[in-house]
């Protein structure tokens, strides 16, 4: 309906343009919704856009265009405002027709085929499987899942993917951390590395190893510590002290691999399997699902990393310095060149990342979206540069950055350090405030903006809590429909002309915006726009509900108002479904499930 109206208004403006300036017939005609309702339903800046080219005063040009706009039964009046805006005021009947459209289309209202069924991959979360997901990871999960739903809604063939960093040093650190905890269960005495993984989950995995294999992995502590550099004093935080701690940890990893031999693979696989299973379960419970869990290790096992580096080298994009191979990243806009293969022959994380992106292209995706933490901003240029160096179209890749959310409980900021073990897990947050509040609050701001997660607000039953406020609007409609007791199918022929109050026309105008919001949100990769829209729609409906009785004695008026309420409910459902939030039939059932507090 909205697209039909906008197309119609564009046609009207085009007809006027043919009369006033036929040589400008190909000019772009853009219609936007004015911020103030008094300025009409749609506004066009064509006169200001063409004023310089045509060397005319924009208001005079607007007046000429206005005089040539054909009459339309959909338009009540057209007027000029400001420096030369042309504002369209629609007939009430035109705006109200959206109610019938929504009831007819149901769950399909707002959907489109803009994506044309093209294959798109969205990679998100991809947290190292070195511990439970924390509340920072939760924002990337909620954003990625909502964006994937949104892109599906507008016609893309979406593949949701989690890149599993199961190769490299971080997994080695987790494995050795677990092994060291395992040794302490047999009475081993030593200083546990402060830069190893410290959380309780490490001790739990150590206990599992002991229960399953007894003392099979026990080594003398002298062998464990053999040749390891001494640890600096605990209070030191200078760079030299940090380097000494890292060297100590690397030596422990080397000793573990040598002493355990083949058993090292068991320890490594054990911790990977346990943590990956925990992450998968956490995300599934959060309503975040992936079609593919892609293994970084597979890139090495198949030789793709080596082939990728060789391909770059043959193309002249690598050079050797101090025994290491460097990618000429500065040739592609990066601030400095990057190592892809160290002097010891080992490939860097960047090398495997290049190979992973090559693999994405090889799988035939027509668009690729990476969702990264905002701290990876500097990584974009080098990855895109590597794609160009490989002869690939880097424009197919979009990178959406996500700022970590900061959790506040009783006004206190919570630590989220994974290595230290002092972090608030996503699971703990979900258990405390419920999935709905988590999913909604995480996408309530633009993804690259800072987000303070107000725990107390998320649990409150107040109008200030946006997700509660929206769900309450949905539940209110459900209650009204239950009291009405009629058949929704009978509403298809209601007399919408009976809806003529200011509140009713405001709600109708808001409903017509939904397809536009979906279109804009998908284009800008911005599901937060849907959250904002639903807040506004809920506010409009609550105002209407408080101002007018819906179940009036006048049957024709009652049915018209019921139709509008049902349309509001449908749009709220459609929007919340994209965001992964439930639409409760009653607030009492929601309170029990989601843990809202009065």
The CATH number that applies at residue 521 is 1.10.730.10
Tokens found for residue 307: 């082939």
| 551 assigned to some structural domain | yes
The reply to whether 81 and 176 lie within a common domain is no
What's the chain's length in residues?
598
Q: What is the CATH number of the domain that holds 79?
A: 3.30.1360.70
Each residue of 63-108: pLDDT tens digit? Answer: 999 999 999 999 999 999 999 999 999 999 999 999 999 999 999 9
Residue 157 has pLDDT above 80, yes or no: yes
* Domain count along the chain: 3
Look at residue 419 in the predicted model and tell me its pLDDT: 52
Each residue of 203-255: pLDDT tens digit? Answer: 999 999 999 999 999 999 999 999 999 999 999 999 999 999 999 999 999 99
Per DSSP bridges, beta strands 451-454 and 318-321 are: unpaired
* DSSP summary character for residue 446: -
The reply to whether 476 and 563 lie within a common domain is yes
| 238 assigned to some structural domain | yes
Each residue of 296-312: pLDDT tens digit? Answer: 999 999 999 999 999 99
Task: Check: CB of residue 125 under 8 Å from CB of residue 586.
Answer: no
- Looking up tokens 């989601």 gives 594
The reply to whether 176 and 84 lie within a common domain is no
The whole-number average pLDDT for the span 30-54 is 91
| 184 assigned to some structural domain | yes
The pTM of this model reads: 0.91
Residue 598 has pLDDT above 70, yes or no: no
Q: Which of 53, 74, 90 is the last residue of a domain?
A: 90
| 110 assigned to some structural domain | no
| 180 assigned to some structural domain | yes
Who contacts 92 (Cβ-Cβ below 8 Å, separation ≥6)?
76, 497, 499, 500, 505
The reply to whether 481 and 584 lie within a common domain is yes
Who contacts 105 (Cβ-Cβ below 8 Å, separation ≥6)?
none
Q: Is 434 left (phi over 0), alpha (psi -120 to 50) or beta?
A: left
The reply to whether 268 and 178 lie within a common domain is yes
Lowest mean pLDDT, pick from 2-6, 316-320, 330-334 = 2-6
Residue 525 has pLDDT above 60, yes or no: yes
Residue 589 has pLDDT above 70, yes or no: no
Query: How would residue 406 be classed by pLDDT, with cut points 50, 70 and 90?
Result: confident
Secondary structure E strands in 143-300: 157-164, 292-295
Look at residue 587 in the predicted model and tell me its pLDDT: 76
Dihedral through CA 125, CA 126, CA 129, CA 133, nearest 10?
-10
The reply to whether 470 and 589 lie within a common domain is yes
Q: Which of 232, 250, 276 is the last residue of a domain?
A: 276
The whole-number average pLDDT for the span 514-528 is 97
| 475 assigned to some structural domain | yes
Give the H or E element holding residue 264: helix 263-285
Task: Check: CB of residue 443 under 8 Å from CB of residue 146.
Answer: yes
Look at residue 409 in the predicted model and tell me its pLDDT: 79
Residue 377 backbone dihedrals phi, psi, to 5 degrees: -55, -45
The residue segments making up the domain with residue 51 are 2-90
Query: How would residue 257 be classed by pLDDT, with cut points 50, 70 and 90?
Result: very high
Residue 46 has pLDDT above 60, yes or no: yes
Each residue of 440-470: pLDDT tens digit? Answer: 999 999 999 999 999 889 998 889 999 999 9
The whole-number average pLDDT for the span 280-285 is 98
d(CA 287, CA 249): 37
Q: Is 137 left (phi over 0), alpha (psi -120 to 50) or beta?
A: alpha
The reply to whether 173 and 272 lie within a common domain is yes
Query: How would residue 287 be classed by pLDDT, with cut points 50, 70 and 90?
Result: very high
- Helix, strand, coil proportions of the chain in percent (round to 5)? 55, 15, 30
Q: Which of 276, 293, 321 is the last residue of a domain?
A: 276
- Looking up tokens 């101002």 gives 547
Task: Check: CB of residue 549 under 8 Å from CB of residue 523.
Answer: no
Secondary structure E strands in 376-524: 397-402, 405-409, 412-413, 416-417, 422-423, 451-454
């Amino acid at each position: 309906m909205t697209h039909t109206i906008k197309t119609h208004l564009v046609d009207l403006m085009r007809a006027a343009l043919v009369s006033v300036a036929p040589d400008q017939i190909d000019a772009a005609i853009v219609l936007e919704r004015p911020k103030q309702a008094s300025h009409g339903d749609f506004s066009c800046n064509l006169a200001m856009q063409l004023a310089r080219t045509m060397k005319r005063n924009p208001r005079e040009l607007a007046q000429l265009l206005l005089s040539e706009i054909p009459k339309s039964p959909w338009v009540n009046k057209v007027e000029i405002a400001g420096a030369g805006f042309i504002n369209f005021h629609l007939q009430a009947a035109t705006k109200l027709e959206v109610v019938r459209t929504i009831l007819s289309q149901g769950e399909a209202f707002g959907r489109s085929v803009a994506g044309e069924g093209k294959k798109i991959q969205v990679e998100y979360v991809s947290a190292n499987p070195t511990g439970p997901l924390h509340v920072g990871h939760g924002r990337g999960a909620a954003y990625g899942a909502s964006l994937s739903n949104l892109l599906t809604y507008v016609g893309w063939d979406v593949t949701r993917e989690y890149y599993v960093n199961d190769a490299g040093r971080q997994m080695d650190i987790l494995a050795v951390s677990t092994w060291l905890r395992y040794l302490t269960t047999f009475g081993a005495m030593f200083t546990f590395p402060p830069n190893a993984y410290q959380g309780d989950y490490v001790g739990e995995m150590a206990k599992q190893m002991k229960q399953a294999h007894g003392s099979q992995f026990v080594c003398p502590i002298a062998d464990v510590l053999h040749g390891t550099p001494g640890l600096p004093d605990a209070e030191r935080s200078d760079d030299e002290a940090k380097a000494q701690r890292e060297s100590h940890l690397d030596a422990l990893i080397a000793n573990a691999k040598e002493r355990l031999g083949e058993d090292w693979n068991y320890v490594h696989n054990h911790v990977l399997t346990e943590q990956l299973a925990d992450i998968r379960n956490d995300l599934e419970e959060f309503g975040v699902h992936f079609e593919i869990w892609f293994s970084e290790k597979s890139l090495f096992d198949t030789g793709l990393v080596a082939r990728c580096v060789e391909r770059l080298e043959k193309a002249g994009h690598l050079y050797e310095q101090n025994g290491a191979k460097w990618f000429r990243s500065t040739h592609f806009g990066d601030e400095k060149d990057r190592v892809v293969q160290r002097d010891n022959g080992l490939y860097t994380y960047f090398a495997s990342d290049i190979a992973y992106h090559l693999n994405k292209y090889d799988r035939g995706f027509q668009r690729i979206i990476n969702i990264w933490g905002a701290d990876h901003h500097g990584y974009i240029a080098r990855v895109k540069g590597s794609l160009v160096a490989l002869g690939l179209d880097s424009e197919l890749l979009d990178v959406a950055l996500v700022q970590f959310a900061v959790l506040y409980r009783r006004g206190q900021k919570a630590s989220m350090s994974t290595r230290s073990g002092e972090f608030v897990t996503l699971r703990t947050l979900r258990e405390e405030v419920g999935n709905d509040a988590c999913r909604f609050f995480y996408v309530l701001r633009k993804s690259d903006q800072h987000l303070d997660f107000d725990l107390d607000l998320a649990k409150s039953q107040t109008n200030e809590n946006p997700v509660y406020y929206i769900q309450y609007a949905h539940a209110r409609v459900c209650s009204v429909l239950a009291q009405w007791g009629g058949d929704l199918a009978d509403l298809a022929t209601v007399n919408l002309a009976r809806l003529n109050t200011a509140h009713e026309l405001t709600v109708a105008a808001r409903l017509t915006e939904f397809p536009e919001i979906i279109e804009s949100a998908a284009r800008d990769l911005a599901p937060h726009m849907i959250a904002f829209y639903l807040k506004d729609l809920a506010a409009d409906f609550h105002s209407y509900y408080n101002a007018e009785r819906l179940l009036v004695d006048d049957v024709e008026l009652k049915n018209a108002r019921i139709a509008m309420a049902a349309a509001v409910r449908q749009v709220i459902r459609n929007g919340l479904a994209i965001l992964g939030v439930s639409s409760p039939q009653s607030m009492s059932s929601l309170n029990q499930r989601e843990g809202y507090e009065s």
